[in-house]
Amino acid sequence: MKIAFYAPLKSPDHDTPSGDRRMAGLLLAALKAAGHDPHIASRLRSYDGAGDAARQDGIRNVAVYEAAALVARYEALPAIQRPAAWFTYHLYHKAPDWIGPAVCEALHIPYLVAEASVAVKHMEGPWAEGEIACVSAIRRAGAVLSLNDDDDEAILLLLDNRDRLIPLKPFLDPAPYLTIRDGDGGAPCRLLAVAMMREGDKLASYRALADALARLDGHDWRLTLVGDGPARRQVEAAFGGFDGGRVRFAGEQSEASLPAFYAAADLYVWPAVNEAYGMALLEAQASGLAVVAGRVRGVPGIVRHGESGLLVPQDGDFAEALGRLIDDQALRARLGGSAAVTVAADHGLEAAAATLDRALAMAAS
């Protein structure tokens, strides 16, 4: 099946790396693994983070023009070459889909959404038009794929059939992470965190990690931080109190270079403040690493507490859980082995491809 794909927040080939860009690319890969023929229909970024009404109007006007141009282009093709479905990844009030519903209406093809968000509070205020557009798009959707259950209750109210909301476990291609680990030498325990360095939740997670490690000065550990961004100086300041050499800043790394960092680590650590689910948590587990993470939002859906890692509630003692795994090499090995098996079985491309096939069938019904 030919599928038009669109990610209004960030295209899968956008210049700036992020979890959103990564998942958009993985969805394309899963659609191909299922035997479909997806293409990027538009690279228009509809995101407005400032609540600027004039900017939103400008984006919407461009989107209307682009939708009309796409319809004309598709209608000029032989029927067999036209898309048989439209697939939009991640729409919410700051990044609505102004294009997909219009194209689907004109071509009479099903509309699918993955990772949608709705919130009644945004029906008024600076992003009201974006929220209204999201609600309208979700109502039109033949299937909505949910990567975490934060918005499931609100989305179900917009669907005429509860079966149209389909859980999709966050996933990746585990193959690049099945590298030969260089072993777990026990002490010092080699800790790893991989994340962008930006204001907000990411910076809060870095600071929470630094606070936890400050309470574990008597434990034998070394930490590597992979990532960069506009909050680099604040992150460096958060870890500035540790002895030289104990914390290493590796900077931004390409996706291809990450498996080597996971292979060289003994434990993945991330407080995951307000994290939707966390692709790096999946990567770490695919590499056979146990993880210590925050028990928030979609994280419990990809990290099994006591089986592949330890999860800490927001008001829990992150340092205590971290110290436990720093000191227990055998437990790290057991959790890490279980993590690799679970990710390969439940969070790989094959499992995702099967779910996407089911969603496409539902949307077409």
- Name the token pair of 104: 């689907």
Using one digit for the tens of pLDDT, what is the confidence trace for 247-262?
999 999 988 899 999 9
The helix/strand/coil state of 224 is strand
| pLDDT above 90 (res 80) | yes
Q: What angle do CA 292, 298, 302 make, to 5 degrees?
A: 55
- Predicted confidence at residue 138, as pLDDT, reads 96
Q: Where does the pLDDT of residue 16 fall: very low under 50, low under 70, confident under 90, or very high at 90 and above? A: confident
Q: Are 8 and 88 in contact (CB under 8 A)?
A: yes
| pLDDT above 90 (res 151) | no
- Predicted confidence at residue 122, as pLDDT, reads 83
Q: Where does the pLDDT of residue 192 fall: very low under 50, low under 70, confident under 90, or very high at 90 and above? A: very high
- Predicted confidence at residue 143, as pLDDT, reads 96
- Predicted confidence at residue 185, as pLDDT, reads 67
Average confidence score pLDDT of the chain? 92
CB 125: neighbour CB atoms within 10 A?
10
Rounded to an integer, the average pLDDT of 11-23 is 86
C-alpha–C-alpha distance, residues 170 and 193, integer Å: 19
Q: Where does the pLDDT of residue 123 fall: very low under 50, low under 70, confident under 90, or very high at 90 and above? A: confident
Q: Residue ranges per domain, the chain?
A: 2-171+348-364, 175-346
Q: Which of 106-110, 154-158, 276-280 has the lowest mean pLDDT?
A: 276-280
Q: Which residues contact 58 (CB under 8 A, 6 or more apart)?
A: none
CB 71: neighbour CB atoms within 10 A?
17
The helix/strand/coil state of 116 is strand
CATH (one of 3.20.20.10, 3.40.50.2000, 3.40.50.12280, 3.30.1360.20) for 175-346: 3.40.50.2000
What is the model's pTM? 0.85
Rounded to an integer, the average pLDDT of 285-291 is 93
% of the chain exceeding 70 in pLDDT: 98
| pLDDT above 90 (res 308) | no
Q: Are 98 and 59 in contact (CB under 8 A)?
A: yes
Same fold, 2-171+348-364 and 175-346: yes
Kindly report the CATH number that applies to the domain delimited by 2-171+348-364.
Answer: 3.40.50.2000
CB 154: neighbour CB atoms within 10 A?
15
Q: Where does the pLDDT of residue 119 fall: very low under 50, low under 70, confident under 90, or very high at 90 and above? A: confident
